[in-house]
A and B are shown apart, each in its own frame.
Chain A
Amino acid sequence: MLEYHNMENIYGNYEKTLHTIAIDLVDKINGYANTYMDSCGDKLFEHLSWRIKSPESMADKCAKDGLPLNIHSALKEVHDAIGLRIVCLFLDDIHKNIEQLRTLPGTRVVREKDFISSAKPNGYRSYHMILAVENEIPDVDGNTPGEYFAEIQLRTIAMDTWAALEHELKYKKDIHHPELISEELKRCAGELASCDVSLQTIRELIRGK
């Protein structure tokens, strides 16, 4: 990216701010999960991970989306500079987390995409939410409090395992029988989805729901 090489960092001096906001959001999510654990003894998720998209990947994404390579594009037009992933044991836990996220103080939902009810053609399943997060640190447009964006992906452990393998397939070159592998991977997605539903059903039967 020729234009990009002339820039220091597409986030300018906001990279540290993005970290601060991500950690703050993670704290809020851990906060509701702890409250839930105290009330009924269940874990709302198995693990929570996060990352700040690398400035290089962000520049690539802006270029791909036809956006000017600047801080405004990276922080205001593209919404996944901050990415969180919530991995759950059971399907219902995903929906419980979605409910919590919809009412999380200091945030509002910008967009939701349900790839669990409507899986992508390749078999990908996850629930995606874009949150606008309010923070006292002024944003790139000079708003105080500032408004930042984060993408949250929610999925089960099975969906996470599948996505990890699909990710590997996407970036690996010279694969033998790529069509066969894609087809079998899609079949696996269907089997894993079936197991997720069965496990959820068995949990409901055990708990007498």
Chain B
Amino acid sequence: MKILLAEDETDLAEVIKAMLEHSSYTVDAVENGALAVEHARSNAYDLIILDIMMPVMTGLEAVKEIRAHGILTPVLFLSAKAEVDDRINGLDAGADDYLTKPFAMGELLARVRAMTRRRADYSPRVITLHEVSLDTEKAELSCKNTISLAAKEIRLMELFMNNPDLEFTTDDLLERFWHDEKADSDAVWMYISFLRNKLKSVGAPLAIIGEEGGSYCLRKASLI
């Protein structure tokens, strides 16, 4: 699980990062809202933690920007202010939960666990990109045709369609979707091959590019 943390208080940021990493999360830490938006746009995170009061761009502005870019990753606010208005504004801007400073590390970790566990609830049932739609409930990929997808194919396709033009390494995909120790890059390559041919078979104007064992990325076919 990959988490983006935006917090301008260096000491606090370091503590949170260490705690999360200790709980086996991968953490990218930045110190303002503008950098948070930039990171959120170029990486696929499972959770974003934003401080409200930050220089350059506030957490409130950052979450609006992030949502405006169509990024649906759950956002948890951290705020020194306990005012009701702040919480309301934050949640209305597109955040999913908040925590008031000072907070207990145990509570932060519990909220992170709860929010990443509920990840599926945040995802829309049907994802559409360039006339290609993925119905995660019916397990179907459609464009000129409709074809069923296996469970792992759906999760992979969902990641690619939610993050077009983003590169995912073989190791990254292995870590996200293969939890048995026997799986290796061959398994990833097989599923990439399945998806490539299935995109072709529905006449999708999308293609997954990348070499065996390398990084993969979903592109509009006309851009390749």
Contacts and interface: CB of A to CB of B under 8 A. Distances in A.
A193 B144 contact: no
B194 interface: yes
B197 A197 contact: yes
B197 A201 contact: yes
A201 B194 contact: yes
B148 A194 contact: yes
Identify whether the interface residues of A are mostly helix, strand, loop, or mixed: helix
Nearest to A209: B193
Interface in B136-193: 138, 140, 144-150, 189-190, 193
B87 interface: no
Interface residues of B, number: 17
Contact of B147 (A118, A193, A202, A205): A193
A119 B143 CA distance: 11
Interface in B101-147: 138, 140, 144-147
Interface string A175-189: 000000000001100
Contacts of B149: 194
A117 B144 contact: yes
Nearest to B198: A197
Nearest to A189: B146
23 contacts: A117-B144, A117-B145, A118-B145, A118-B203, A119-B146, A186-B146, A187-B138, A187-B148, A190-B140, A193-B148, A197-B194, A197-B197, A197-B201, A198-B194, A198-B197, A201-B190, A201-B193, A201-B194, A201-B197, A204-B193, A205-B189, A205-B190, A205-B193
Interface of A: 117-119, 123, 186-187, 190-191, 193-194, 197-198, 200-202, 204-205
